[in-house]
Amino acid sequence: MWNLAVAARLAAVQQLHRRPIFKANCVTFVSLMEIVKCLHLKARSEVYPCSAVLRFPVPDDKVDWAVPWTNYNPVDYTAPALLKQPSWADLPYRDEGELNKVLKFNQLDGDVDRRSHTGKYNLINGFPRNPCGRTGLKGRGLLGRWGPNHAADPIVTRWKKESGKTVTHNCSGKPILQFVAICRKDNKEWAIPGGMVDPGEKVSATLRREFGEETLNSLDLPEAERQGVKELINFLFEAGEMVYQGYVDDPRNTDNAWMETVAMNYHDETGESVGKLSLQAGDDAGAVKWMDIEKEQNLYASHTHFLHQLVKAKNAHW
């Protein structure tokens, strides 16, 4: 019964958006339960990150924009840093008329990609509307772009080994997968070392750059060494598999600005190449380590969800 109810709700939501909210990925499929769970929780967390701003509370049954809610009164918040017009953010606009005239939503806008992996998003009074529903906060919050803010997440993995032998888990009997995790400086949460796609940058370049900057500290290396690290990453990242692409349940999301990502897996089957890298935290990362993948981890945003997709495809312990 429960599954039928979930399926009905999902079908309604998908019909609304005319295509799945989350694209099924190349490695495996996304189950109903996972999709429903991904109807953002962290994007509704009470206190907005790096602020004392409280979101207007949105109960589960009111997340969907299709559910009428006349009393919905989201807090309007754009972080003060964005009003100083940093180069990585859209300029502040006086009203929706101006916003709509200047920015080209649902298309490539110069170097800035304003298309969504989830399909065409709606504009309400000129403002892009979060395709996953209400968040209790309008404006851009901490995010630079109105609408989708594109990121890329490199998931670098190896099998856990002890004395040269692959370790299997006591309960599941399955081999344990490890990934390169960073501890984010901004909120001290463990995460995949992802980052924002720069305007005009290819996702493949973002994946390499972010991995180099956050886990190999490439920004602080002398030029000669930096070149070496770059070549190594280029070699390691030649073959990758897509794990996920779509909306991210990020705590910074708002009704008008949200995170999307492409998560790619680079797996070292023997542990002889990437598995031997000497990790060093840099840039936005306060720490870096090889972390066992297991379901108890509560990683940043929906990173646990991406790892679950990968673990299923590799038949690893969860």
243 lies in the binding site for ligand RP5 (CB under 6 A):
no
Q: 157 burial class (0-12, 13-18, 19+ CB within 10 angstroms)? A: buried
Q: How far is the CB of 154 from ligand RP5 (least distance, A)?
A: 9
Residue among 284, 292, 313, 318 that touches ligand RP5 (CB under 6 A): 284
180 lies in the binding site for ligand RP5 (CB under 6 A):
no
> Cα–Cα distance between 143 and 118 in angstroms, integer?
18
- Please answer whether residues 69 and 57 qualify as being in contact, where contact means their C-beta atoms are separated by less than 8 angstroms: no
Residue among 131, 148, 194, 282 that touches ligand RP5 (CB under 6 A): 194
Window 44-103: residues binding ligand RP5 (CB under 6 A): none
Our CB check for ligand RP5 shows the closer of 130 and 317 to be: 130
251 lies in the binding site for ligand RP5 (CB under 6 A):
no
Q: How far is the CB of 305 from ligand RP5 (least distance, A)?
A: 10
- Among residues 16, 48, 46, 20, the alpha carbon closest in space to that of 34 is found at 20
Our CB check for ligand RP5 shows the closer of 261 and 317 to be: 261
Our CB check for ligand RP5 shows the closer of 113 and 250 to be: 250
Window 150-169: residues binding ligand RP5 (CB under 6 A): 151, 153
Window 258-277: residues binding ligand RP5 (CB under 6 A): 259, 261
Q: How far is the CB of 237 from ligand RP5 (least distance, A)?
A: 16
Our CB check for ligand RP5 shows the closer of 129 and 210 to be: 210
Residue among 90, 213, 250, 283 that touches ligand RP5 (CB under 6 A): 250
Among the listed ranges 22-30, 63-71, 190-198, 236-244, the one in contact with ligand RP5 (CB under 6 A) is 190-198
Our CB check for ligand RP5 shows the closer of 166 and 187 to be: 187
Among the listed ranges 84-92, 98-106, 191-199, 221-229, the one in contact with ligand RP5 (CB under 6 A) is 191-199
Our CB check for ligand RP5 shows the closer of 3 and 87 to be: 87
Binding site for ligand RP5 (CB under 6 A): 151, 153, 191-192, 194-196, 248, 250, 259, 261, 284, 301
